[in-house]
Amino acid sequence: MKKFVAVAGNIGVGKSTLVEMLSQELGWTPFFEPVAENPYLADFYRDMQTWAFHSQIFFLAHRLRAHHQLALYPSSAIQDRCVYEDAEIFAQNLFLQGHIGQRDYGTYQELYRTLIEFLPPPDLIIYLRASVPTLVQRIARRGREYERNIPTDYLASLNYLYESWADNFTLCPVLSVPSDDLDYVAHPEHLRLIADKVQEKLTGKNEIVFEPGLPALAGRPGSIETRHSQQAGATKF
């Protein structure tokens, strides 16, 4: 049976790399975020107040179309960033920071809520989390000119909203992966660990936890713990 999986996470966390590597590991088709295609993105990073609404409308339209196409795709696919992140994290963050006004934000949310009702959710969302220092390092490493001046407080605000979103998302299971010390490029065992978890039938929200103080020897993480989050809290198993 075909599967539709999305990889979520903050700017620079490593979504595209994981999508590429998991697609090869699992034999699925990758679908990547259309960063270079957004005609507002460079202007947005220079002047968020002016271009935030325009940029978010572009991303929403493109992501809704991509989500619909993925739902109809005949075989298993994995997506770099999902439509829920656009509306529930990025647009909300811009509204909270005053870059999108109340009237525009209300219009945006009404459009999102209406259209999302017609789309089936993914089978699973993989949420990559990382600290702001890690994000800054990875953003600098990939060297995109328009990302060089992203404020650290902007990344921190996104991280806060991501954590809340992942804890409360109910449309499909969420697999949370702490990626500060995760290197699935250098250590194949890290990739295989995630691939194994993805292939499990998830009944709730699960988290891969790399216990601190246990070294990764020969590319193998030390001790792994899976948590199943429920409304009342977390159950270890």
Residue 80 is a catalytic residue:
yes
CB burial of 88-123 (b: ≥16 within 10 Å; e: otherwise) equals bbbbbbbbeeebbeeebbeebeeebeebbeeeebbb
Q: What is the DSSP letter of 89?
A: I
Query: Amino acid letter at 118?
Result: F
Is residue 197 within 8 A of residue 219, CB to CB? The reply is no
- The active-site residue out of 80, 86, 104, 183 is 80
Size (the chain), residues: 237
**At 28, phi and psi to the nearest 5?**
-100, 165
List, in sequence order, the alpha helices (H) in 27-82: 41-46, 48-72
Which active-site residues does the annotation give? 80
